[in-house]
Amino acid sequence: MNTQPSAVTLAQLESAINHWRERRPSADQDQQVLCAEARALADVYGLLIFSGAPSIEYSTLNAMQREALAAVLR
| 3 state SS of 31 | coil
Task: Summarize the confidence of residues 66-72 as an average pLDDT.
Answer: 92
User: What is the rounded distance in angstroms from the CA atom of residue 36 to the CA atom of residue 50?
Assistant: 21
Provide the mean pLDDT of the chain.
90
Could you tell me the pLDDT band of residue 48, with boundaries at 50, 70 and 90?
Answer: very high
The answer on pLDDT for 16 being more than 60 is yes
pTM for the full predicted model? 0.86
Domain ranges of the chain: 7-73
